[in-house]
């Protein structure tokens, strides 16, 4: 399914769920890294944002729950695709609304992959655009350096030409003084 290497962060307080998701996704769909709660997941994103392409978070966890994770990421990392999972039939079961994809537990590999496929495609598009932007920036930097080098060379040449004129004037004045 994935042409570009993609990494999913799975946040769930149940190790068994994280391991099950890993088995459903690796190695065919994406690489998986795990966090045992919302705080650990957010810390991982802080440290390794460029390495995380998609987030799958449980909604109900002790401490920072999945709702908080989704809201904070929507505000501070809006280009990071996020999906939610829960033992409840819907994300509105506990009275909070979300606008991200949702999958109820238990789920199978096919359902999970179908949920994540558009998010992975979005992440791949983001990575591809970022690679193009980095190349454009490198090209622009290379061009700016070349233009500066040429400008410096031209300035040095013009300074040398001005010095040549002054030298010619000194010689002419010296010849006129002699003769």
162 part of a folded domain? no
Half-sphere exposure at residue 159, Cβ-oriented, CA atoms within 13 angstroms:
6
pLDDT of res. 10: 98
111 part of a folded domain? yes
User: CATH no. for residue 85?
Assistant: 3.40.50.2300
105 part of a folded domain? yes
- Tally Cβ neighbours within 10 Å of residue 86: 21
Task: Write down the residue that tokens 């042409």 correspond to.
Answer: 3
78 part of a folded domain? yes
147 part of a folded domain? no
How do residues 139-174 score in pLDDT, each as one tens digit? 999 998 988 888 877 776 666 777 888 889 999 999
The boundaries of the domain holding residue 20 are: 7-132
How do residues 34-93 score in pLDDT, each as one tens digit? 999 999 999 999 999 989 999 999 999 999 999 999 999 999 999 999 999 998 766 665
Structural domains in the chain (count): 1
- 68 to 20, 51, 58: CA distances (angstroms): 23, 21, 11
20 part of a folded domain? yes
């Amino acid at each position: 399914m994935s042409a570009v290497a993609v990494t999913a962060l799975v946040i769930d307080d149940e190790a068994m769920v994280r391991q099950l998701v890993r088995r459903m996704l690796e190695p065919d769909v994406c690489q998986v890294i795990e966090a045992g709660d919302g705080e650990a997941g957010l810390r991982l994103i802080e440290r390794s944002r460029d390495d995380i392409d998609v987030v799958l978070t449980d909604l109900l966890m002790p401490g920072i729950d999945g709702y908080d994770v989704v809201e904070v990421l929507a505000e501070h990392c809006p280009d990071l695709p996020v999906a939610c999972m829960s033992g409840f039939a819907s994300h509105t079961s506990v009275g909070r609304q979300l606008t991200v994809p949702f999958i109820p537990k238990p789920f199978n590999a096919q359902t999970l992959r179908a949920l994540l496929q558009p998010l992975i495609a979005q992440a791949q598009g983001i990575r591809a655009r970022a690679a193009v932007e980095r190349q454009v920036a490198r090209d622009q930097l290379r061009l700016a350096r070349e233009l500066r080098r040429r400008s410096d060379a031209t300035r040095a040449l013009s300074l040398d030409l001005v010095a040549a004129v002054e030298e010619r004037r000194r010689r002419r004045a010296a010849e006129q003084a002699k003769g």
